[in-house]
Amino acid sequence: MLKFKDIYLQEQSLIKYGLYFVSADVLLCYSIILTTINEEIMNTKKIVNSIMLALSAVAVVACNSGTSQNTTGTSTQSVRFYADSQARVPLSHLTLNTHVNQVTKQAVFIKNTGDSNINLNDIEFDKYISGLKLANSGSCGSSIAPGQVCSFTLEFKPTTSVSDKVSLAMPNKKTLSDNSNGIDIQLQTNSNDGPYMVEYWCGFGSDFCGQSSTNDVNPAATHVVMAFANVNSDGGISVDSANWPTNLVTEWQNNGQQVLISVGGQNVDWTTVFANPTTFVNSVAQVVQQYNLNGVDLDIENGMATPQQVSDTINILRQALGESAVITIAPQNVGVYQASSVPPSTVSVTVAYWNFFVPVLESSINSITLVMQQDYNNWYGGSPVYNANQTSVDYIGNSYLNWVNSPLTIFPSNWGITPISGFDGVPMNKLIIGIPAAESAAMSGFYPDPQIIQQVYSQLESSPYNQKVAGFMMWDSHYDTLNNNTASNAVATTLGLVK
């Protein structure tokens, strides 16, 4: 790295270019353009050294003052990448993890923090990786103006196993200020298909859930989701520390089960959370760390938000918890439905809106470990084949196929129901079928008996669907125990998890 004291003006280079950037460690915060330097002055080393020392002092003062002075009026270029649409959380590292021949997507936001337009056509990877691309420009055009934030989407669909690293930046990054950054991306193909058996544990005091106080979770469960943490008025969360089941958490984890804290439920309004995502994420991260948990579940059923706010929160949460943490979401099954229109990502509606989770998933599926849609308590389509208000093989199968965005052959072709355009659906390895563990665990008619559980699994894995069902989620261990573990034992048997 050049220092001022190491530099002597070279006549040829100055006459040819008329431009000299001084020292790499000062370059990034201050540039000097020498426009009129007399050749006679150049030949006087003593005078030149004096000039350079004076300019050096000015540059150091400018750096130390934190200002970006530019006496010649030249523009500066500076970009940063972010995890969210409001440019709150810088994004410098990212993992894109998916199965061979399955797609994962990640919304990325870029902000121009300089004072001149930047050509976004220059954004590129430092090397070619098959299956990796900028899927679309999102809200970005060909350039981004100073102060503007826009989005684009990274898409990764590998055709073979991959474990590689790549960076995304502007190739002319060397001309940008030190506020600029790129993204270091870890590319990984996942070989883990489950199976997963997720069971909620409704414990703690009555202000939180209050059903269970002992370990009534089926030992075959792969994940235990403790319900619930409550949402505070500032968007943070609170847990029942007075009744925290430390011994049960240890017992479950020693049994090889992943233990999560669930936020939400039917009585929680998420409006404040999505309006204050940083507060929420910091609060969740503290609880996960303090109680040595494996992750968090977002049981999003009520409240107002834009889909963009929800995906922002999920992506920020992933950055805070790290790649190894488990992040699950448990929306109502109407969150994806091929026969309805998709709401714009920037329009605020109820989170229970039909197709609300389509734009959410398009921007955040890479940050989510498992999607556990609730296949109960909702009318879901209509067909002569089945009663849409009660659970059946076709009711659950219809919901599942909607969420993977596969053609729905159980409907008459003249209904004109087709997959949602531009939506890749939830990857099979991330989609979990959510069911009540007993008749009393949900509205009447939505409990699937063991025969239905086995049949829906077999039907989806057979032609013409050819799906690989990753597993089942159950609400909850208390009702399952009252039902003599009929539901959880049926799921464990179906998935081959019996211990």
Shared domain for 235 and 133, answered yes or no, is: no
In the numeric block, the tokens 């098959």 are attached to 130
**36-86 tens-digit pLDDT:** 333 333 344 443 344 344 444 433 333 333 333 444 455 667 788 999 999
Position 70 in a domain: no
pLDDT of amino acid 172: 57
Question: Does 418 score more than 60 pLDDT?
Answer: yes
Position 292 in a domain: yes
What pLDDT shows up at residue 248? Answer: 98
| Higher-confidence position of 326 and 116 | 326
405 and 265 in one domain?
A: yes
For residue 429, pLDDT over 60 is answered with yes
Q: How confident is the model at residue 114 (pLDDT cuts 50, 70, 90)?
A: confident
Query: Is 350 found in the same domain as 316?
Result: yes
Query: What pLDDT does 94 receive?
Result: 94
Average pLDDT over residues 422-426: 94
pLDDT grade for 1, boundaries at 50, 70 and 90: very low
Q: Which of 217-226, 252-261, 391-400, 403-412 has the lowest mean pLDDT?
A: 403-412
- Look up the domain containing 375 and give its range: 196-495
Q: What is the pLDDT of residues 334-364, one digit of tens each?
A: 999 998 999 999 999 999 999 999 999 999 9
What's residue 51's pLDDT? 37
Could you tell me what percent of the chain has a pLDDT over 90? 63
Total structural domains within the chain: 3
Find out whether the peptide bond into 90 is cis, omega within 30 degrees of 0. no
Q: For residue 46, what are the contacts with CB-CB under 8 A and spacing of at least 6?
A: none
Higher-pLDDT residue of 237 and 377 is 237
Q: Give residue 212's pLDDT.
A: 95
| Cβ neighbours for 133, distance < 8 A, ≥ 6 positions apart | 154, 155
71 within some domain: no
Residues 35 and 171 in one domain: no
- Last residue of one domain, picked from the residues 189, 208, 240: 189
3-state secondary structure 241-308: HHHCCHHHHHHHHHCCCEEEEEEECCCCECHHHHHCHHHHHHHHHHHHHHCCCCEEEEECCECEECHH
DSSP code of residue 404: T
Beta partners for 124? 169
Is the same domain home to 168 and 266? no
CATH no. for residue 387? 3.20.20.80
In this structure, the answer to whether residues 166 and 305 fall within a common structural domain is no
Mean pLDDT for 264-290 is 95
For residues 236 and 282, what is the distance between their CA atoms, to the nearest angstrom? 8
Nearest-angstrom CA–CA distance, 468 and 491: 15
The model's pTM: 0.83
254 shares its domain with 319: yes
State which of 189, 209, 230 marks the end of a domain: 189
Among the candidates 143, 165, 189, a domain finishes at 189
- Same-domain status, 14 and 106: no
Mean pLDDT of the region 455-482: 95
275-303: average pLDDT: 97
Does residue 488 lie in a domain region? yes
Residues 152 and 180 placed together within one structural domain of the fold:
yes
C-alpha triplet 41, 44, 47: angle, nearest 5°: 80
- pLDDT for 22 equals 33
Whether residue 344 is contained in a domain is answered as: yes
Give the pLDDT score at 444. Answer: 85
pLDDT interval class at 124 (50, 70, 90)? confident
| Whole-number percent of the chain with pLDDT over 70 | 79
The one-letter amino acid code at 218 reads N
Contact assessment for residue 178 and residue 112, using Cβ atoms and an 8 Å cutoff: no
Kindly calculate the radius of gyration of the chain based on its CA atoms and give it in whole angstroms: 28
Interior angle at CA 244, CA 242 and CA 249, nearest 5: 165
Range name among 29-33, 118-122, 364-368, 426-430 with the lowest pLDDT average: 29-33
**Residue 73 resides in a domain:** no
- Averaged pLDDT of the chain: 83
For residue 74, being part of any structural domain is answered with no
What is the structure's pLDDT at 119?
83
Let me know whether 90 and 219 are in one domain: no
Task: Specify whether 25 is located in the same domain as 85.
Answer: no
Give the Cα separation of 22 and 20 in Å (integer): 6
CATH number of the domain to which 136 belongs: 2.60.40.10
Q: Are 385 and 454 in the same domain?
A: yes
Number of neighbours of residue 36 by Cβ within 10 angstroms = 6
Check residue 165 and give its pLDDT.
94
Quick check: is 394 in a domain?
yes
Count CB atoms within 10 A of the CB of residue 357: 30
User: Span 176-204, mean pLDDT?
Assistant: 83
